[in-house]
């Protein structure tokens, strides 16, 4: 009985503090107009990164369009590449520790062709051990790490873009002629 009460209180506390599990975002939240219809401009249209970007943005309610003219925002992936680098070599002259580097550069253009977000750069790295005894799973581990980095980059792009669009919206609302402000001199 005490355990049930304790668990109920803990759940109530966690829910009351605003805690949310990763990926359990509010689908009823208002999506900025510029993020409602997006054109993804990338040379690697079917890459893992492009898939992760589309998947994440769609989960927030964004619709991807096939034509730039129909989009309210153009997300341009200017550069995206990943590489594997050896960090240390063992006594048998084989790689003992590797690092995967994923780097991307992107910007955003509105429907009028105006750059609304200057080029942004994201670089993530992850290192892992390369054990000769478990050689079979190492390539799969590298693929899993790369996919994880793509998922994290997609989330970072979305957060930066959303924050930038909201900041631009707030700035235009403050400077809009419909908003009147009256300056009161200090005495």
**DSSP symbol at 60:** T
Q: In this predicted structure, what is the pLDDT of residue 21?
A: 55
Beta bridge partners of 74: 39, 109
Q: How far apart are CA 12 and CA 4, in angstroms?
A: 12
How much is the pLDDT for 38?
Answer: 94
Closest CA to 108 of 170, 30, 169, 39: 39
Tell me, what's the pLDDT at 139? 78
Render each residue's pLDDT in the chain as its tens digit; 187 residues.
777 776 776 666 666 665 555 555 555 456 777 889 999 999 888 899 999 999 999 999 999 999 999 999 999 999 999 999 988 888 888 888 889 999 999 999 999 999 989 999 999 999 988 776 666 677 788 889 999 999 999 999 999 998 888 777 665 544 444 444 444 444 4
Rounded Cα distance, 37 and 25, in Å: 19
- For each of the domains in the chain, give its residue range(s) and CATH number, in order of start: 26-78+106-120+133-175 (3.30.160.150)
Q: What is the pLDDT of residue 3?
A: 74
Q: What pLDDT was estimated at residue 121?
A: 95
Three-class secondary structure of residue 82 per DSSP: strand
Q: Which pLDDT does position 11 carry in this prediction?
A: 67
In the Cβ-directed half-sphere of 15, how many Cα atoms lie within 13 Å? 6
For residue 58 the two structure tokens come to: 């769609």
pTM, full prediction: 0.73
């Amino acid at each position: 009985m005490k355990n049930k009460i304790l668990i109920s209180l803990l759940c109530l506390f966690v829910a009351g503090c605003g805690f949310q599990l990763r990926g359990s975002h509010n689908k009823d939240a208002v999506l900025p107009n510029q993020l409602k219809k997006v054109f993804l401009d990338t040379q690697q249209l079917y890459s893992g990164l492009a898939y992760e970007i589309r998947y994440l943005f769609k989960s927030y309610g964004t619709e991807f369009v096939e034509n730039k003219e129909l989009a309210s925002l153009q997300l341009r992936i200017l550069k995206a590449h990943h590489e594997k680098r050896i960090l240390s070599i063992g006594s048998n002259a084989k790689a003992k520790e590797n690092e995967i580097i994923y780097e991307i550069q992107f910007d955003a253009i509105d429907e009028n062709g105006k750059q609304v977000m200057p080029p942004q750069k994201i670089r993530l790295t992850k290192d892992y051990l390369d054990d000769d005894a478990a050689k079979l799973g190492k390539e799969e581990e590298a693929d899993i790490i790369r996919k994880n980095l793509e998922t994290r980059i997609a989330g970072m792009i979305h957060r930066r873009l959303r924050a930038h669009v909201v900041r631009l919206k707030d700035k235009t609302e403050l400077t809009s002629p419909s908003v009147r402000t009256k300056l009161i001199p200090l005495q």
